[in-house]
Amino acid sequence: MSKEIKQKNKTDAVNTKENKSFKNNKNGKTKKNSVKNQKKGNEFKSTKQKNVRSEGKKSVDGKKRQEKKMTKQTKKTNSYQKSSKSSNYSRITPPASNIPVKISFLGGINEVGKNMTCYEYEKSMIVVDCGLAFPESDQLGVDFVIPDFTFVERNKDILKGIIITHGHEDHIGALCYLLKKVNVPVYATLLTAGLIRGKLSEHKLDHEVEINVVKAGDEVNLGDFSVEFIKVNHSIPDAVALAIKCAAGTVIQTGDFKIDTSPIDGGIIDLSRFAELGNEGVLCLLSDSTNAEQPGYSQSESKVGETFRSLFTRAGDRRIIIATFASNIHRVQQIIDIAVQTGRKVALSGRSLENVVAIASELGYVNIPDGTLIGIDEIKKYSDDRLVIVTTGSQGEPMSALSRMASGNHRKVSISFNDCVIISARPIPGNEKTVYRVINDLLRLGADVIYEKMYDVHVSGHACQEELKLMLSLVKPKYFIPVHGEQKHLRYHARIAESVGMDYNNILITDNGYEVSLSNKNMSVSGTVAHGKVYVDGYGVGDVGTRVMKERQHLGQDGIIIITATIDGASGELLSGPEVLSKGFVYVKEAELLMKEAVALSMHVIDSFPPYSYDINAMNNKLKDEISRLMYERTKRSPMILPVLMRV
């Protein structure tokens, strides 16, 4: 059951002035945060402050105040606004206080993943989601990337809780790292809570953190906030949107969502509740922008099941291997159902997939008939026509089960001409090259590979344009902030908002690290907060910084030259060496002349320092400079130079 915290009663309402500017990090000059209306093609500037008109007037007659009444203002017509709908966006219930609610973004803006948002009102703060992002191609050796928690740590005294919208890694993957720094209650639905507990157990935090299980329709009080959970559809069960309420007004954060009228679990998004909140008055909407470029509606997850049935028939007596996201419980359930119908056993490959299915099965989200699931070690006992292998690696991750199969390094599964491989996922932006490399490797091994562009083997869990329009029309927010996407997604979503009648002055495209203040009077960027990327490499968290990353990139591009020599500690006289070693730069046997030149030059540099008055640091620096110059002159490359001088 969720933990109820009584909301504090505020006795004094403090009128705060609108922050009209913030400092530009590069030149310190003040920039206005306004969005300019252009005659053709409205442009939205991230970090631009909005000039918002007052929505309501209050009249006083003598000592007695008359009842408040909202008056509709006539909006100026522009190329994107529909005058017939503009009145819907000007109606909002006046808040009890003019003190703004502040929203700070630590991740999820202008990027895919690493979602984390902070809400602050008076002396209370809550955090929504705490996810990770997968490393980019130039982030060598990094396992994943998490947000910088400095801002949350500084405000831990007023932090009331962490609310999670659903169980995907980009929303819960960094949670354990945050809970090591600030131990506060966590609120999540049943399946999400189960996945979080599994992660807490891995980090040995399972007995130290309070997990409160909630369900759609529940409302919890957290200091000056109350948070209502609203049912939505997504590619994982138990996803919810949030209605975050305080005296400043109601903010709706959709989380990841789609509108699926025939979902696998039978639970349809609660559109009626969104409409009710819209009628009550919504201050701001933060909505998922991932599929804002995609026209129409997203397809139902049940469509994938129909495709799987036809592909199972087409596979005939071949073995079937299906790669999908570990957390896509609905898809795994459909695979199991069709495997049972066709007389096949199901084996799981990939630790994350095994863990998620075990948790989902225990909590009743997956129904696996007895005798259907077998261990990956048992696949040799069954003929190919009786097997389905479900695996991770749909994004081409180098160490995933599918990538190891494609490279021939999987200890249990060897790809052959009798395999039908189905990649049931769409590449996340940035992963296209790695995914297609895996596909090509599988094809070289003789497998028949089926992926999204060939058949409907994947549907998105994110709303497309018509669904986004419907959400905006139901909620009727006064202000709108598109979230969860790259810049192009955010801009498309902003245009969609205008197309249904929102005033462009009430739309803000922001960025990570910015604090947005919202009240009934205005929306503005009121400042910045500490934010950034923290690299996780093995057990190391944050010890790989920008400098280390640049060194790794340097090593990866040009290799390294190591110069070793032994000198007299007193006189600086060369006793042995120097020796020159090359790693990742040139093959020594094919570059003997270059190596001899490097040895001779190193000897000359060491001998150039006067006896008994040499500086070891100066000697190291000169060796670096001279050897670097030689290598660039001969090869037009600049390897890393590492002198190792031992004094005896």
Who's near 527: CB < 8 A, 6+ residues apart? 19, 22, 514, 515
The CA distance from 518 to 251, in Å, is 9
Query: Tell me: the pLDDT tens digits for 607-620?
Result: 888 887 778 888 88
Scored b (16 or more CB within 10 A) or e, 291-308 reads bbebeebbebbebbbebb
Catalytic residue, from 462, 484, 493, 531: name it: 462
> Is 288 marked active-site?
yes
* pLDDT tens column, 125-184: 999 999 998 877 667 677 789 999 999 999 999 999 999 999 999 999 999 999 999 999
Distance CA 268, CA 466 (A): 17
Q: Which residue has the higher pLDDT, 403 or 541?
A: 403
The answer to whether residue 389 scores a pLDDT higher than 60 is yes
Instruction: Return d(Cα 359, Cα 536) in angstroms, integer.
Output: 25
Is residue 62 scored above 80 in pLDDT?
no
Percent of the residues in the chain that have a pLDDT greater than 70, as a whole number: 82
pLDDT in tens, 480-526: 999 999 999 999 999 999 999 999 999 999 999 999 999 999 999 99
Average pLDDT over residues 616-625: 88
Residue range 310-449, CATH number: 3.40.50.10710
Structure tokens at 376: 């990956």
Please check the confidence at residue 646 and state whether its pLDDT lies above 90: no
pTM of the model: 0.75
pLDDT digit string, tens, across residues 177-190 = 999 999 999 999 99
Establish whether domains 100-296+461-536 and 310-449 are of one fold: no
Q: What pLDDT digit, counting tens, does each position of 40-52 carry?
A: 334 443 433 343 3
Looking at the domain 545-647, which fold is it? Ubiquitin-like (UB roll) (3.10.20)
Least confident of 51-55, 236-240, 251-255, 337-341: 51-55
Whether 491 and 109 have beta carbons less than 8 Å apart is answered as no
Query: What six digits make up the tokens of 189?
Result: 């639905």
Fold designation for 100-296+461-536: Metallo-beta-lactamase; Chain A (3.60.15)
Check residue 334 and give its pLDDT: 93
CB 472 within 8 A of CB 503: no
Reply yes or no on whether 166 is catalytic: no
Active-site position among 256, 288, 337, 419:
288
Three-state SS for 346-397 is EEEECHHHHHHHHHHHHCCCCCCCCCCEECHHHHHHCCHHHEEEEECCCCCC
Any idea where the domains of the chain sit in the sequence? Answer: 100-296+461-536, 310-449, 545-647
